[in-house]
Amino acid sequence: MGENERRVVVKLRCLEASISEEQFHDDNFKTATSDDQIAVEESVKQQFEYIKNVAELDPDCPQLLREQHIHFLKKGLYSLPEAYECLDASRPWLCYWILHSLELLDEPISDETKSKVSAFLSKCQHPDGGFGGGPYQLAHLAPTYAAVNALCIIGTEEAYQVIDR
């Protein structure tokens, strides 16, 4: 760690004991997908336990640089580096991933940003319904899913009005 960097320890929700309350319950109605969900959650739980043990044993293990992540994410809502040009047809996904990441980090989004993202996603909406991967692109299910999720994360009346329901 550099001389001017300060270590910020972030307690991860996934390492709290209460996380088991959020695990999937099949209500005694087993299906192939419920079995798969339980298997995935068990696999992830093992990884979390491993990370928790490493963090307790090694205080110098990698830490989340929360403020740097937040800065990068917020900047990404307005513009992304040239290397992301190949994702031009995935812009609603980028909005969703960024907004969800900020949500996971418990980082609030300004009203101005909420409005600008809502306005951008409205430009991705196709006149015949659904959302395209960017303005003036054909709509299909994948970017529609991402756009609706992003607008729900924003959660303002303006965002909800973009969704043609």
Same domain, 81 and 36: no
Domain of residue 100: give its range: 66-162
pLDDT one-digit tens code per residue, 143-164: 999 999 999 999 999 999 999 7
The H or E element containing residue 130 is: none
Q: How many domains does the chain have?
A: 2
Which residue is it, tokens 């994702």?
87
Same domain flag for 84 and 51: no
* Domain shared by 120 and 47, yes or no: no
Look up the pTM and report it: 0.72
User: Which is nearest to 97 in space by CA: 142, 62, 67, 65?
Assistant: 142
* Two tokens, residue 85: 């040009």
Closest alpha carbon to 128 in 114, 139, 143: 139
pLDDT digits (tens, 9 = 90+) for 93-147: 999 999 999 998 989 999 999 999 999 999 999 999 999 999 999 999 999 999 9
Co-location of 79 and 140 in the same domain: yes
For 102, counting Cβ atoms within 10 Å of its Cβ (0-12 exposed, 13-18 middle, 19+ buried), the class is buried
